[in-house]
Chain A
Amino acid sequence: MLRFLIRRTLSAALILLVVSAVTYLLFFALPSDPALLACGKQCTPQLLATIRHNMGIDAPVPVQYWHFLVGVFAGRNFGAASCPAPCLGYSFVNGRPVLQTLLNRFPATASVALGAAVLVLTFGVGAGMIAALRRGRAADKVAMGLALVGASMQIYFFGIVVRYVFVDQLAWLPLPGYTSPGASLTGWAGGMLLPWITLAVVNVATYARFTRSSMLESLSEEYVRAVRAKGLGPWGVYVKHAWRGAMTPIVTMFGIDLGLFLGGALITETTFNIPGIGKLAVDSVADSDLPMMMGTVLAASTAMVLVNIAVDACYAVIDPRVRAL
């Protein structure tokens, strides 16, 4: 297990290095000049050069990237502004190191992601299981019909309609928004309710359908029949044995989705004005805040890579055949 973790951490570092290089190159190929934006209306060539130097964008792109990498470990100074290690860049738009902003925003994103993940797993897997066990009957058809409706929903449509009906008109749900759970747990849960429901509804469908087909496949396995031949009841047959076999593909998909959620649910956060990493990404694009954009991309890839290490570790727990590999 230790060897596995070391190997995966090294490969994760490599992946992040490649992602950062690619984003760096991509973003510096953009036509906008952050120095020009920062320089303002009374810009002189001299001032512009100073700003360029302070921002660290007067060197060739590969050298800039090298500075960036060094900064991650040693920290950097941008003119008067300092960015302590690990420095992922400095946002001149809001005048702070990128990492600091990312860390500030992460709790909101994590709140959305984890809450939605719990709902998605509970209802998606639950509905899929029921549909598989009641295959072809009313419960199956209802569950799969609802799944289809859910899958056809868009967050920016569904979220806004739900908000209008249940918050603005009926006032059944509190206004969406982020309150620190440390400050008020009920305020936090209340504000998160709508984003959770919205993000869950859209994704539950996929999980329900996926769980259903995975369960059906598992139920047709010979060993499930053998378990019945041993005299085990529904719990043993469906949960202990069939579900165990159906889990692997669902865990894979869940890993990808959780990684995406933790990297910032862009549309959900924007729709409900949640100050998370997704919203930050959208705002930094609007502000042409290149270092911040890079930071959000790196944050998203880090989330993805870490969750996938966790998923791979889960495989080993679920399936003993993987441990031998």
Chain B
Amino acid sequence: MNPLTPVNPATVSSPRTDDHAAGGEPFLQVRDLSVRFATEDGPVQAVDGLSFSLERGRTLGIVGESGSGKSVTSLAVLGLHDRARTSVDGSIRLEGAELVGADEARLRGLRGSRMAMVFQDALTALSPYYSVGDQIAETYRRHTRCSRRAAGERAVQMLSLVGIPSPQRRAKDYPHQFSGGMRQRVMIAMALCCDPDLLIADEPTTALDVTVQAQILELLAEVQQEFRTSIVLITHDLGVIAGIADDVLVMYAGRSVEHGSVAEVLTAPRHPYTMGLLASVPRLSSAVDVPLKPVPGSPPSLLAVPGGCAFHPRCQARDLLPDDLCSSRRPALVAEDARDGRDGGDGHAAACHLGTAERVAFARRTVEPSESNDTRRIQGTNR
């Protein structure tokens, strides 16, 4: 086997983003990010050596089960982790400026203005005690120091931008007076009110009805188009990723296990975990009595991450590899092309010991004959 050359994270991002090469660093670059925190049961490594980059106006989807470190990553980017109990290593650079270890006052200035966050459940993420207009205006005033009146007008303007009917009147309402979808729109309006360059959306549609989900995703896509906002979209829903992301990063037990463009990863997954996730998505095309195919087992406790490849206890492709390989050696995140000694440069990388031949054999085994069409179909559903 060829030497496993670790990939430069910059080349992992999809080829379409390579236009930054001339201008220097990508807009957001995360390198070797590790987040550890102390819990009562011992230290937890929530994120382990994560690297990715994101260009202006593009969307990176981060997928994984709960506890895979998705949300911790987003909190670390904003510097919202509990500083007393968490240690963050590695580098997070926003337009070349280092955020890891930056002082709180500087981060505070960036939060809400340059980088904003949309939380999963707007009902808990909006304060029940202030009107939505006040909450949006508060953010705007914090960063612009404008008059109360101007901030109030901005709030109404933002509510109208995200499609809230009669915004002037609704600005005076409290979060509990809105429906779930409208509340999430308010949340997005609040995140966007200072025109941020980076929007981190942590499961923005999970708490919503399916029809409303589609509307919210559409809104995010529109916003991105209009303001060239870069979006990090955290989700466990591959349908959502297929709908609006350009690139996708699959996380497992705090590590990146697969990374590449959406088209590559969803149609030709290289990690057995990604394949499992794709196979577990219910299809409208399959017969009603076909049971769902979940990824067997459950995500590992971060207190005791399995050695070697963290996924090996649940991996169904293990029998294709020598006995101890998966449990003893941790696979590096490498591009297929690097592994084969070629330089394809499509940036699609996976952290798996499977070689091309074994992978193809395994994929044929897990994914039913008609399945490759279906992955395209998921992509279609959320467009």
Contact = CB atoms under 8 A, between A and B. Distances in A.
A231 B177 CA distance: 25
Interface string B52-84: 000000000000000000000000001010001
B39 to A, nearest CB: 14
Interface residues of A, number: 22
B147 to A, nearest CB: 18
Given A230-B111, A230-B139, A231-B111, A321 B176 contact: yes
Interface string B7-46: 0000000000000000000000000000000000000000
A59 interface: no
Contact of B121 (A222, A241, A319): A222
Contacts of B142: 230-232, 236
A233 interface: yes
Contacts of B80: 225, 228-229
A324 B112 CA distance: 31
A238 to B, nearest CB: 13
A314 to B, nearest CB: 13
Given A223-B124, A236-B138, A229 B129 contact: no
Contact of B125 (A226, A236, A244, A245): A226
A138 to B, nearest CB: 13
Contacts of B332: none
A226 B116 CA distance: 10
Given A236-B142, A321-B176, A229 B128 contact: no
Contacts of A229: 78, 80, 111-112, 116-117, 119
B127 interface: yes
A221 interface: yes
Nearest to B105: A233
Contacts of A228: 80, 111
B86 to A, nearest CB: 14
Contact of A321 (B111, B125, B128, B190): B128
Interface in B173-200: 174, 176-177, 190
Contacts of A244: 127, 129
Contacts of A320: 128-129, 131, 174, 176
Interface in A244-276: 244-245
Contact of A318 (B112, B129, B139): B129
Interface string A311-323: 0000000111100
Given A231-B110, A236-B138, A226 B129 contact: no
B377 interface: no
A136 B119 CA distance: 28
Nearest to B177: A324
B78 A233 contact: no
A241 B176 contact: no
A222 B176 contact: no
Contact of B138 (A136, A225, A230): A230
Contacts of A136: 84
A236 B141 CA distance: 12
Interface in B115-145: 116-117, 119, 121, 124-129, 131, 138-139, 142-143
Contacts of A232: 108, 112, 138-139, 142
B355 interface: no
Given A231-B143, A236-B138, A236-B142, A223 B112 contact: no
Contacts of A225: 80, 119, 125
B119 A222 contact: yes
A230 B112 contact: yes
A39 interface: no
A230 B190 contact: yes
B121 A231 contact: no
By CB atoms of chain A within 10 A, which of B110, B121, B142 has the most?
B142
Contact of A231 (B84, B109, B119): B109
B205 interface: no
A219 to B, nearest CB: 10
B261 interface: no
Nearest to B113: A231
B129 A231 contact: no
A227 interface: yes
A319 B125 contact: no
Contacts of A324: 176-177
A221 B124 CA distance: 7
A94 to B, nearest CB: 51
A139 to B, nearest CB: 13
B127 A223 contact: yes
B116 to A, nearest CB: 7
Interface in B253-301: none
A228 B112 CA distance: 9
A321 B174 contact: yes
Contacts of A222: 119, 121, 124-125
A223 B109 contact: no
Contacts of B127: 223, 226-227, 241, 244-245
B197 to A, nearest CB: 14
Contacts of B129: 241, 244-245, 318-320
A157 to B, nearest CB: 38
A319 B108 CA distance: 28
B108 A226 contact: no
Q: What 4 A-B pairs are tightest by C-beta distance, nearest first?
A: A231-B112, A231-B111, A230-B112, A222-B124
25 contacts: A136-B84, A221-B124, A222-B121, A222-B125, A223-B124, A225-B80, A225-B119, A226-B125, A226-B126, A226-B127, A227-B127, A229-B80, A229-B112, A229-B119, A230-B111, A231-B142, A233-B108, A236-B142, A241-B127, A241-B129, A244-B127, A245-B127, A245-B128, A319-B129, A324-B176
Given A225-B119, A226-B119, A320-B128, 19 more contacts: A221-B124, A222-B121, A222-B125, A223-B126, A223-B127, A226-B125, A226-B126, A229-B78, A229-B116, A229-B119, A230-B112, A230-B138, A230-B142, A231-B139, A231-B143, A236-B138, A244-B127, A320-B176, A321-B174
